[in-house]
Amino acid sequence: MVRPVRETERIEEDSLQNAIDRLVEVAAQHAFEVDENSRFPVEAIEAARAGSLLGAAVPVELGGLGLGITELCRILEQLGRVCSSSGMILAMHYIQLLCLARHGRSEYLLQVQRDCASNQLLLASATTEVNIGGDSRTSSCAVRTLNDGRIELKKTCPVISYGRFADAILVTARRNEEAVGSDQVLVYLPAGDNTLNRTFGWDALGMRGTCSEGFELSGTTTAAGVLDDPFEKISAETMLPAAHTLWASVWLGMATQAGGQARSVVQKAARKTPENPPPSALRLAELEVSLQSMTDLVRSAVHRYQQAWQEPKTLESLQFAISMNTLKVSAADQVRKIVGDAMVIVGIAGFANRSPLSLARLYRDSIAPSIMVNNDRIYQHTSTLLLVSRGER
């Protein structure tokens, strides 16, 4: 028997969709300027804040919207179509929020989640480190306990995306000064408890609005800010799969936008000579194959993660980690190819920066997924896992 939908549920769904629509509208309005000036998309983030979307992943009982990974990914698909930078910022924020929701069980961290929902806080992360690179599973910096019971840490970060604009940063570090590099914790560090000294600016080819600058980070905060689970568990169950599914959803939105633009151009050309379809129609059919393949890849991976959300044994398995890694490299490769192929179909109007049909910004942004978290590093990690995996699926 199908349960009837109550009117209050319809209102809530309509309100959520209205907030998403408003976010997408605002992000689209300012996307060109954000890219042109390599600036933080403050308007889009404020629209997300006004629609309570920054607290979307906080459980309902703590004041948030309680959205699951599937719903978050669909938001990011829509946002990725109009502003890649805004999409990636919201994706990175949701990754940290999901880490708090699953692994922050102390009263202090529950209150942090309430604050994230009520004040719509924006969260960033500091997982990379100079001389460590992009290997988030190793830290050189360590948590140091002070005489008053508080803790301090210092970390040289080659990148903290939108760090200057975040209300708090979640930082990986060794558990203490005696711990080995892989014995890590994740620390919630509010903006009022940290200092960021910028070491590198951000003037990149694409994803220019992410403001992925380098910093010397230092902070002193309460020991209660250390999340309850070791980072090894946080990474396996939440950070890694959330990152790859949320990022890939943004990239799918980018690919979908490029595919739609190519389709409209070919359809317009076909209407002029309906008896003789343009040669680009064949290229469009090929593009559709790639786009459908990427859509199936991303959405099936999101569904897989959603299904395994309450199954730590599955989430911590080697095969699940391998599947998430392959999602990342596949989606990163596919979005670059799809946007590039779409540009060839659209032609010079897609190549021009200021054309109404321009795909230039989207193409530059599509290069970033393979580079900003380098595919070779993911391949290397995957190859290590495959050497000890039994191959179960």
pLDDT by residue for the chain (393 residues), tens digit each? 344 444 444 447 789 999 999 999 999 999 999 999 999 999 999 999 999 999 999 999 999 999 999 999 999 999 999 999 999 999 999 999 999 999 999 999 999 999 999 999 999 999 999 987 667 888 999 999 999 989 999 999 999 999 999 999 999 999 999 999 999 999 999 999 999 999 999 999 999 999 999 999 999 999 999 999 999 999 999 999 999 999 999 999 999 999 999 999 999 999 998 888 898 999 999 999 999 999 999 999 999 999 999 999 999 999 999 999 999 999 999 999 999 999 999 999 999 999 999 999 999 999 999 998 888 888 888 898 888 877 665
Give the span between the Cα atoms of 237 and 101, in whole angstroms: 12
pLDDT of residue 133: 62
Instruction: Tally Cβ neighbours within 10 Å of residue 191.
Output: 18
Give the span between the Cα atoms of 79 and 76, in whole angstroms: 5
Token duo for residue 61 = 């009982």
Residue partners of 91: CB distance under 8 A and separation at least 6: 76, 243, 246, 247, 249, 250
β-sheet bridge partners, residue 186: 172
pLDDT of residue 11: 44
pLDDT of residue 373: 85
pLDDT of residue 377: 85
Residue partners of 289: CB distance under 8 A and separation at least 6: none
Do residues 153 and 186 lie in contact, with contact meaning Cβ atoms separated by under 8 Å? no
Q: What angle do CA 137, 89, 246 make, to 5 degrees?
A: 65
Give the span between the Cα atoms of 7 and 303, in whole angstroms: 28
Do residues 207 and 85 lie in contact, with contact meaning Cβ atoms separated by under 8 Å? yes
Q: Is domain 231-388 in CATH 1.20.140.10, yes or no?
A: yes
Max distance between CA atoms of the chain, in angstroms, equals 83
Residues in the chain: 393
Domain boundaries, the chain: 7-118, 123-225, 231-388
Tell me the CA distances in angstroms from 43 to 5, 49, 72, one per residue in order: 34, 10, 20
Classify burial at 179, counting beta carbons within 10 Å of its beta carbon; exposed 0-12, middle 13-18, buried 19 or more.
middle
Fold observed for domain 7-118: Butyryl-Coa Dehydrogenase, subunit A; domain 1 (1.10.540)
pLDDT of residue 286: 97
pLDDT of residue 136: 84
Q: Is domain 123-225 in CATH 2.40.110.10, yes or no?
A: yes
Residue partners of 60: CB distance under 8 A and separation at least 6: 66
